[in-house]
Structure 1
């Protein structure tokens, strides 16, 4: 059964555009060897990190969405762990949205408008 996955990883900020494309293509080819479906890659570019990671304050973010059996997650994460260009990665299993209509639509209650009190003139 194919599951949907989302992986976000951060590359060192000192990489050139050509090196970034090489890294992205390396992991794209890696996933294609496992016959994943609907592979989408988005390069977010260089962004400030929320906190320093391995003494880096910036990083190049890359997001990959795909569908696969699940046997590709551990080898891909191992390859990223061994890479010196990847400073952080995270893989999430994405839950598919259930598109069911509710059996009965609950009645929406509208609160009654509240009347504001009239201002009282200050006594002197």
Structure 2
């Protein structure tokens, strides 16, 4: 069984398709997500926009961005369905939880580095309430500064 991951789905619908068709397409995707026990985190309809390059005979398209949490099988099914729908010009599915994990690891590493540096200076690993920025961290920069005037 696959674990739930977060994905971002972007699809472009032909500009000739009415808004009702875009809403129906979203409903179809929503039914697939429910069938595979996934969840919608966010849906944004960016509306009709000019594309960077022509796709087929189309210069514009209606962009829709959806953030979905679910399994890999769910995303395979959505990909399969979007490939056969004629009104969808292009679609892209990207796994975004990897980027969040990398950012979290970077933040954790930075906190660990700061805590080690503070301990090496004889300070507690975490800032204490009332300890302002620069207070206590750079004491060695100010040693003897009063007598040099």
Give CA deviations for 1:79-107 in whole Å, capped at 9, x if unaligned. Answer: 1110001000000011224152522338x
Query: 1: CA distance between counterparts of 2:32 and 2:40?
Result: 14
Question: Is residue 9 of structure 1 aligned with residue 11 of structure 2?
Answer: yes
What is the deviation of 1:37?
2.5
Residue among 88, 92, 95 paired with 2:94 = 92
1:47 aligned partner = 49
Cα-Cα RMSD: 1.6
How many residues align? The count is: 106
1:111 aligned partner = none
Query: 2: CA distance between counterparts of 1:27 and 1:103?
Result: 42
Structure 1 unaligned blocks of 5 or more? 107-124
Note closer, same or farther for the CA distance 1:62–1:34 as it changes in structure 2 (3 Å cut): same
**TM-score between the two structures when normalised by the length of structure 1:** 0.78
Larger strand fraction of residues: 1
Note closer, same or farther for the CA distance 1:37–1:23 as it changes in structure 2 (3 Å cut): closer
1:112 aligned partner = none
Query: 2: CA distance between counterparts of 1:5 and 1:69?
Result: 9
Larger helix fraction of residues: 2
Within 5 A, what are the aligned runs for 1:15-94? 15-94=17-96
**Range moving further from structure 2, 81-90 or 24-33:** 24-33
Higher relative contact order (CA 8 A, sep 6+): 1
